[in-house]
């Protein structure tokens, strides 16, 4: 299998079919596009082991209408790693938790034979204030006729990873100011503020972007809701600096990790966009939810169907760079 997130078809037949939750224990059962589980008592749980696991797991909870409070972390190290690497990992986790107001409540650390890099898995735990209807907010609530709203821009999480690991090569072509504008801030990775604002203004269908970028997020939201999509490609916001850095590595920014951006569907998009703007959060309508199953991307006269999510561009970049190093 390819590195990165397992495909939806494999998840369906090899993961979901083998999960049998206890009767009446879950308000929201595991499914494609449901990145957080919700218990009947209002506890919300999400896990991630990607490039920004603390932010991604927390975002999953916010997109379910919850408020994350605690995380558990599991750190698996390679045999040739020194203790300083473990310290660096825990310092980053602690800094991310401080930014988000989370508490590290525990976890596990060990060294694994065969590991070539450190693997960090995070489980975030939070609570929803709507205990009577804990299933009321989620990626499966989009309705035909709703506008599709996107916050911030695509590629936020991915470009930060690329810059952190390839800064010298990027600076060979662009000045530091361009790199800084592409990178933004670490706080850009959180959807906490926009998720809360959207829900306060009546939104019930939210999906945070992460692996696979905006295309994967759109597909997952439509699949979870049983709807189609009609998206205006030109309306999808992206920083020019992110495009320029992606071009260096032949990366598609629309399939690049976009942790920090949120998809919202609503019949009253004007109200939500206005509320977000009042708090300094950029947002725009990028399309409509439609009847049926067709997921269509329009770019002027070019009309194409959205494909199933593919490997995130960061993993493809890692593989290309590994092959180059091996040569």
The domain spanning residue 256 has which CATH number?
A: 3.90.650.10
Kindly state whether residue 160 falls inside one of the protein's structural domains: yes
Q: Please check whether residues 279 and 152 belong to one and the same domain.
A: yes
CATH number at residue 13: 3.30.1330.10
Torsion of CA 52, 280, 218, 37, to 10 degrees: 60
Kindly state whether residue 142 falls inside one of the protein's structural domains: no
Q: Please check whether residues 104 and 169 belong to one and the same domain.
A: no
Q: Is 83 exposed, middle or buried (0-12, 13-18, 19+ CB in 10 A)?
A: exposed
Q: Please check whether residues 195 and 156 belong to one and the same domain.
A: yes
CA distance 242 to 77: 31
Question: Comparing C-alpha atoms, which of 202, 80, 70 is closest to residue 149?
Answer: 202
Kindly state whether residue 176 falls inside one of the protein's structural domains: yes
Q: Please check whether residues 107 and 219 belong to one and the same domain.
A: no
Residues, the chain: 327
Residue with tokens 């989009």: 142
Query: pLDDT-derived band of residue 18, with 50, 70 and 90 as boundaries?
Result: confident
Kindly state whether residue 133 falls inside one of the protein's structural domains: no
CA distance 109 to 53: 16
Q: Please check whether residues 317 and 170 belong to one and the same domain.
A: yes
pTM for the full model? 0.92
CB-based contact 319:312 (threshold 8 Å): no
CA distance 246 to 253: 7
Report CA Rg, the chain: 19
Phi, psi (deg, nearest 5) at residue 109: -130, 140
- Per the structure, the count of domains in the chain is 2
Q: Please check whether residues 308 and 220 belong to one and the same domain.
A: yes
CB-based contact 253:189 (threshold 8 Å): no
Give the lowest-confidence range in 76-80, 119-123, 150-154, 318-322. Answer: 318-322
Share of the chain above pLDDT 90, in %: 75
pLDDT of residue 36: 86
Tokens of 91: 């310092």
Q: Please check whether residues 124 and 151 belong to one and the same domain.
A: no
Tokens of 311: 């490997």
Kindly state whether residue 20 falls inside one of the protein's structural domains: yes
Q: Please check whether residues 166 and 300 belong to one and the same domain.
A: yes
Question: Comparing C-alpha atoms, which of 283, 148, 125 is closest to residue 220?
Answer: 148
pLDDT of residue 24: 62
Q: Please check whether residues 174 and 319 belong to one and the same domain.
A: yes
Query: pLDDT-derived band of residue 57, with 50, 70 and 90 as boundaries?
Result: very high
pLDDT at 67 exceeding the cut of 90:
yes
Phi, psi (deg, nearest 5) at residue 287: 170, -165
Kindly state whether residue 62 falls inside one of the protein's structural domains: yes
pLDDT at 327 exceeding the cut of 60:
no
pLDDT at 4 exceeding the cut of 90:
no
Q: Please check whether residues 45 and 151 belong to one and the same domain.
A: no
pLDDT at 10 exceeding the cut of 90:
no
The residue segments making up the domain with residue 97 are 8-128
Q: Please check whether residues 163 and 106 belong to one and the same domain.
A: no
Q: Is 6 exposed, middle or buried (0-12, 13-18, 19+ CB in 10 A)?
A: exposed
Average pLDDT of 169-194?
Answer: 96
CB-based contact 173:182 (threshold 8 Å): no
Query: Which of 78, 97, 128 finishes a domain?
Result: 128
Average pLDDT of 39-50?
Answer: 89
CB-based contact 124:61 (threshold 8 Å): yes
Kindly state whether residue 43 falls inside one of the protein's structural domains: yes
Question: Comparing C-alpha atoms, which of 185, 168, 151 is closest to residue 281?
Answer: 151
Q: Please check whether residues 97 and 178 belong to one and the same domain.
A: no
Kindly state whether residue 46 falls inside one of the protein's structural domains: yes
Residue with tokens 């920083």: 239
């Amino acid at each position: 299998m390819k590195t990165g997130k397992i495909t939806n078809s494999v998840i369906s037949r090899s993961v979901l079919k083998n999960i049998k939750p206890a009767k009446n224990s879950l308000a929201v059962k595991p499914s494609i596009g449901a990145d957080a589980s919700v218990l009947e008592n209002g506890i919300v749980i999400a896990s991630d082991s990607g490039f920004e696991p603390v932010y991604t797991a927390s975002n999953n909870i916010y997109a379910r209408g919850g408020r994350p409070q605690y995380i558990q972390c599991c750190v698996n190290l390679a045999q040739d790693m020194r203790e300083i690497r473990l310290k660096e990992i825990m310092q980053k986790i602690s800094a991310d938790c401080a930014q988000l107001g989370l508490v590290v409540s525990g976890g596990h650390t060990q060294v694994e034979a065969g590991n070539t890099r450190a693997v960090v898995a995070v489980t975030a735990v939070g609570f929803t204030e709507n205990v009577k209807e804990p299933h009321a907010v989620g990626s499966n609530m989009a309705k035909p006729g709703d506008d599709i709203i996107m916050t911030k821009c695509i590629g936020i999480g991915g470009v930060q990873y690329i810059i952190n690991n390839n800064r010298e090569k990027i600076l060979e072509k662009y000045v530091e100011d361009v790199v800084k504008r592409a990178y933004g801030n670490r706080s850009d990775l959180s959807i906490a503020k926009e998720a809360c604002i959207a829900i306060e203004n009546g939104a019930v269908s939210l999906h945070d972007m992460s692996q696979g970028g905006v295309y994967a997020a759109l597909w997952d939201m439509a699949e979870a809701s049983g709807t189609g999509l009609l998206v205006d490609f030109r309306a999808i916001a992206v920083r020019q600096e992110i495009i320029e850095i992606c071009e260096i590595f032949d990366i598609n920014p629309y399939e690049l990790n976009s942790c920090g951006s949120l998809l919202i569907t609503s019949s009253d998009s004007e109200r939500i966009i206005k509320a977000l703007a009042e708090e300094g959060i950029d947002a725009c309508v990028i399309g409509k939810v439609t009847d049926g199953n067709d997921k269509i991307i329009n770019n002027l006269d070019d009309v194409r169907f959205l494909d199933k999510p593919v490997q995130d561009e960061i993993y493809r970049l890692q593989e290309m760079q590994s092959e180059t190093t091996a040569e």
